[in-house]
Structure 1
Amino acid sequence: MLDFFRNHQRLMMFMLILVILPGLGFVGIQGFRGFFDESANVASVNGHNITRVEYDDAMRQQLDRARQVLGAQFDMKTFDTPEHRREILDGMIEQRVLADETQRLHLTASDDAVRRTLMADPVISSLKNPDGSIDIERYKQLLAMQGMTPDQYDERVRYTLAMQQLPASIQGSAFTSKTLAQHLTELALQQREVQGIAFHPRDYAAQVQPTDAQLQAYYDAHRNDFSTQATATIQYVVMSPATLSDSVQPSDADLKKYYDDNLAHFRTEGEVRASHILIAAPKDASAADKAKAKQKAEEVLAQVKAHPDQFAQIAQQNSQDPGSASKGGDLGYFGRGMIAGGQAFDDAVFALKKDEISGIVQTDFGFHIVKVTDVKPTVTRSFDEVKDQITKELKAQLAAKAFTDNSEGFTSLVYEKAKSLQPAADKYKLQVQTATVTPQPDPKLPPDSPLNNPKFLEAVFANDSVSAHNNTQAVDVGGNTLISARVTDYKPAAVPAFDAVKDAVRQKVIAAQSDEAAHKDGLAKLAEFERSKTTTGFSSPLKVSRNDSQGVPPAALSAIYKVDGQKLPAYVGVDLGDDGYAIYRVNQVVPGTAIDPHTLAASQQQVAQVDAQTQAEAFIKALRERSKVKFYGSVDTAPQTADQ
């Protein structure tokens, strides 16, 4: 039942409007203006430009995600619409106004919040060493692949957390009454007893015998439906740090220098395992309370010194640290700065040897007595141990530098030597590869394949490429990757002759006429049933609900629940598109089962989440309305992001 609220958020929001927000008017949203001016920006928010490049990147990233998720089911036409492009830009504008408000309110995230977020990331968590510490070198390598340093990534996480605070605070305060939740749950659980009869086009196909004239007429009216895509056989070269890595090889001297310069990176700092007894005395406690706590600590210390082998038992009896007292005061392994006691605590602990017990150590939390139970010394891995790791990292750095140094030269060379890619391949030690492409991305290729990049495909099928067989420009497909191609063979899109596709035309005509016959028969039967009120020809009765359709198509289920429950039995006809036509007889409304408290509580929470989302969206909308948003044109056409 709870799935109903997740899958019908529009209905939930509508009900909330009816019950909670009566009387509110609806206002339009400002549309987009006509044509782009000469600037490189698509919009600006409070003076901050959203550039065409940023917009193209956002569009491209969403297309890549869609290709990855949908695979062979990906259809560019679904995304290549003015509405979808406007949604992308709207989302970027909303992010910008939220960022401005976050900055205006001076919101940020603490170091501890950033650390917790990083450690909760499964990718970063996978970099843990056996002792629980993070492999810093692998972490740096991971970020370097994304063009970031640890400090830069920390700030990105901090920025994201700060941005989330305003929407999270709104959503966290959402509340829905139990009465509303019960009403919506009752609607979701309500059943309707129905009987159905279907008119499938396949049942009429044998009756359809189209003439040659009808086939010819259909072909003439739908010629483009039978056209073949243009194809281009290409040679291409890709320049990226990855393709340049084989051409760079650091010397042993370079590797040793890197090791010496970054010795701290290969050092695992020492750790101790310690137990402590805390006699609490917060820094804001009175002098008398602190004196009393110190006296207690001295008494416990005397007891510990008299019986050092009973430290754990004494800690269980006396320590006021709720996190460690039950474990005999055990704090586990830790390094400097990992325990909240501060410098004084670290200095005392790391001065002790194994099995030594400290005197009284005062921190902002009170008075501690510490026993070190194990010591892990600082360990520095030798050059030979890390040589392969350094080689890999240095090669990546040198390849990235080589890409930066040579990208301009590569771009110029493929332009100057326009009739061949071999000069560029020879100079930069790149491989000339071959492929056959179409103007549309190939869903069989990986989502990040440069051959699927819309700008690259646009360059391949440009007139200069297909007619003059000149190299394309060096196209930047993102991710520090340039690609240039040369068309060696081109086959334009073509419409086959009628005789070549006559069988395919016949199948389409039969399908169209069968569908028309099914709909015509269904409409006639609906009129007949409404007069006779008969059940003849219908299926056995079944009970459907919004959560359990019993196989009834979504369009039919929607029509069934639009029938007035006070005027039954009733008949409703449903156009099922290519599946034909169906008629349903709604016999009665069946109330749902009793709602148990657990289900009601869960429903109340989910409806509150829908309400919270609505309020958050309203907040963002209000921010946008008070912001200075300027559009430089329309994104209804976007050749940089839409496949041509």
Structure 2
Amino acid sequence: MILSKMRTGVFSGLFLGVLVLGGVGLVLSDGAGTFRDGVGSTDVAKIDGRPIKSVEFDRLVRTQLQAQNIPATEAYRMGLVDRILQNEIMSRLLRKAAFDYGIIASDKTVANELHKALLPLAGPKGDVKQALAGLLQSQGMSEKMLVESVRNDISTGLLRQTIGGGVYVPQAMAEAFYQWNLEERDIEYVSLPATSVKLDKPTEEQLAKFYDTIKSEYAIPETRNVTIGVLDTARLSTKQEVTDAQVKEFYDSHQDDFKTEATRTIEQAVLRTEKEANDVLKEAQGSKDLKGAVKKVTGKDTAYNKPSKFEEKALPSQLAGPAFTAPVKSFAGPVETPLGFHVAYIQSEQEAAVKPLDDVKTQIKKELSDTASSDAAFEVTNKIEDRLAEGESPDSLKDEFKLNIIKLENLSATDVKIAALKSYSADEGKIIQAAFTTNAGESSPLSEISGGKMITVHVNGVKEARAKNLADVKDEVIAKWSALEKRRKLLVRSLEVTTDIDSGKTTLEKIAAENKTPVKKAKVVRGSKAPAGLNSQGVAQIMATDTTKAVAIPDIESIQIVTIKKVSLPKKSPSKTELNDIEKNLSLDLQEERFVSFINHIERSNKVEINKALLDQMYGQEPAE
């Protein structure tokens, strides 16, 4: 962006990241999977009290990952699931802002946008109805969900246009930028080499003090001797018998779990105009043939939809009421929705009901058996936890609870691909973390790892981190001290030189003669290739320096002393095309600045929390084979 060249701290290349990742100030939930303020663990996030439910978020994740053919667990490790969640949070924040400001797309606008979007998918026959059906099926959406999605997209787009609109860049500003961007400076410069400063050997005291500042570079890391106990929970889960009486008791006490929603089988026609809809309704009421009526009125049957079973909540809100209050074997409509004018015929109705016990008996028996098995396994793990907390080690529990024991000597926190952990490579990091967050002589709590297993890590001993003796690395430390000290003295010398040049005590020519090095000349332009001995950062520094001052430009082995001899602005004026491009780009910069400021505002105004523990539970483990 143009403006970012003229000042720092505005975008720094992060604007896209703000939009993609949200940048929201987020508060993570606690480790137990519940939010600190009491939000239930079935919510993956909460935005000012409004939850993002795990079921709807999982549907969003699976839909987006399906097209890329990436497993959810792999996507989670890659950070894609976090990105999807951040996008959803930012999308909801913008929708909320649009609603708060009264920016809501009308039904007519939504209908027009939908029609335009579906036309390319309608094929040579222009079958928009079929295109809509295909789109809904591929996205796993109902008509109502699609309409609201399009409405939200339009509304947030209007919000952005409103915030960024009305930016005016005066021609004088564009012309000034053109001049600034093509400014040319004639410079003379001399290399001040590292050999121009003399360096004495460090004293023992200087060397010791210097070594204290870099000891971490010579640290021998802490190591630990640990015993790992691996519990296979599959061995704990024995099949539990469930009686018919238990099944009946569960069924009677959980009737709501087995309810089915009321549905209606509806055939309908969706027409473009109210007149067509009324004509179709009149014809169908006489012929009792909705499809035939559509073809007679419109000349084709593409507006006809064959009978389908609907729940009330799956229909657009404008149609849901009439379609579910009209008597069976009667017509409803015409009703206008963003999709058009609907004429519906109610073929049949299935009332809400509770599934018969026989239909769900097998399901209930399995759930009860699984729950009983889990409870039994939970009881065993509780016993292990209690005994570990009382001071027992995995070694003492291995026979009773059939623990697989792994011993590691001199384990470092940075170790990877540990041979003894080859079978648990996916969880190596978790095991090492447990080893280095547990006190010596204690065992870590049981924690889950891949494959339905749990681990505990007992720390047998700790060898503290320590630095190597200075005597063992003395030559290397002296070399580092010398390089840094030489650099420091060279910087001090360069400041003295530039100060003397500015005050008239010396000249660039004298400095060149003292160091037996030539005075170089060059022309520099903002953003152009740097002359020999300089770099791009040096050119930027020269272009930002007061023309009356000498400037020191550091390099790896030397410092360039630069004086500016002449400043030239371009003689030619920008063309109309160049001016238009500059004005356009400056305008876009200003619009984006406004939008980023607005995003920062809504971030500060809305409390956002993420349930990290639930995300780990949903996507952090490999699915069972």
TM-score by length of 1: 0.49
Indicate which of 552, 564, 569 corresponds to 1:573: 552
The corresponding residue for 1:123 is 62
Indicate which of 305, 308, 311 corresponds to 1:336: 311
How big is the shift at 1:523? 3.5
| Counterpart amino acid of residue 422 in structure 1 | D
The corresponding residue for 2:589 is 603
- CA distance in structure 2 between the partners assigned to 1:483 and 1:54 by the alignment: 24
- CA distance in structure 2 between the partners assigned to 1:114 and 1:549 by the alignment: 55
The corresponding residue for 2:332 is 361
- CA distance in structure 2 between the partners assigned to 1:589 and 1:359 by the alignment: 85
- CA distance in structure 2 between the partners assigned to 1:434 and 1:411 by the alignment: 20
| Counterpart amino acid of residue 320 in structure 2 | G
Matches within 5 A, 1:87-106: 102=48
Contact 2:431/2:457 (8 A) holds in 1: no
Matches within 5 A, 1:185-584: 190-193=181-184, 211=201, 214=203, 217-219=206-208, 221-223=210-212, 224-225=215-216, 226-237=218-229, 244-245=233-234, 247-248=236-237, 250=239, 276-278=269-271, 296-301=279-284, 311=294, 314-315=297-298, 327-330=302-305, 335-337=310-312, 338-340=314-316, 341-342=319-320, 345=323, 360-362=331-333, 365=336, 368-369=343-344, 401=375, 404-418=378-392, 420-435=393-408, 449-451=429-431, 453=433, 457-460=436-439, 465=440, 470-474=441-445, 484-520=456-492, 522-523=494-495, 526-527=498-499, 530=502, 532=507, 537-538=519-520, 540-545=522-527, 556=538, 559-560=541-542, 562-564=544-546, 567=547, 570-574=549-553, 581-583=559-561
CA displacement, residues 510-559 of structure 1 (integer Å, 9 cap, x when unaligned): 4223423542454455356655467964574342259x999987865774
| Counterpart amino acid of residue 345 in structure 1 | A
Q: Where do 5+ consecutive residues of structure 2 fail to align? A: 13-25, 37-45, 75-84, 102-158, 348-354, 418-424, 513-517, 608-625
Helix, strand or coil at the partner of 1:501: helix
The corresponding residue for 2:4 is 4
Change (3 A) 1:600 1:497: closer
The corresponding residue for 2:579 is 594
| Counterpart amino acid of residue 315 in structure 2 | I
- CA distance in structure 2 between the partners assigned to 1:447 and 1:544 by the alignment: 51
Contact 1:210/1:506 (8 A) holds in 2: no
- CA distance in structure 1 between the partners assigned to 2:334 and 2:89 by the alignment: 29
Helix, strand or coil at the partner of 2:438: helix
- CA distance in structure 2 between the partners assigned to 1:232 and 1:339 by the alignment: 63
How big is the shift at 1:413? 1.2
The corresponding residue for 1:44 is none
Contact 2:427/2:449 (8 A) holds in 1: no
Contact 1:279/1:368 (8 A) holds in 2: no
How big is the shift at 1:492? 2.6
How big is the shift at 1:300? 3.5
- CA distance in structure 2 between the partners assigned to 1:481 and 1:164 by the alignment: 43
Q: How many residues align?
A: 452
- CA distance in structure 1 between the partners assigned to 2:369 and 2:181 by the alignment: 65
Change (3 A) 1:307 1:496: closer
| Counterpart amino acid of residue 231 in structure 1 | T
Contact 1:549/1:557 (8 A) holds in 2: yes
Identity of aligned residues (%): 9
| Counterpart amino acid of residue 4 in structure 1 | S
Indicate which of 167, 181, 188 corresponds to 1:178: 167
Contact 2:239/2:373 (8 A) holds in 1: no
Contact 1:238/1:481 (8 A) holds in 2: yes
How big is the shift at 1:368? 0.9
- CA distance in structure 1 between the partners assigned to 2:91 and 2:225 by the alignment: 44
- CA distance in structure 2 between the partners assigned to 1:521 and 1:54 by the alignment: 55
Q: Where do 5+ consecutive residues of structure 1 fail to align? A: 13-49, 62-88, 90-98, 131-137, 143-153, 282-291, 318-324, 352-357, 373-379, 624-644
- CA distance in structure 2 between the partners assigned to 1:362 and 1:115 by the alignment: 37
521-530 or 487-496: which moved more? Answer: 521-530
Change (3 A) 1:421 1:345: same
- CA distance in structure 2 between the partners assigned to 1:5 and 1:330 by the alignment: 57
- CA distance in structure 2 between the partners assigned to 1:275 and 1:360 by the alignment: 9
- CA distance in structure 2 between the partners assigned to 1:571 and 1:561 by the alignment: 12
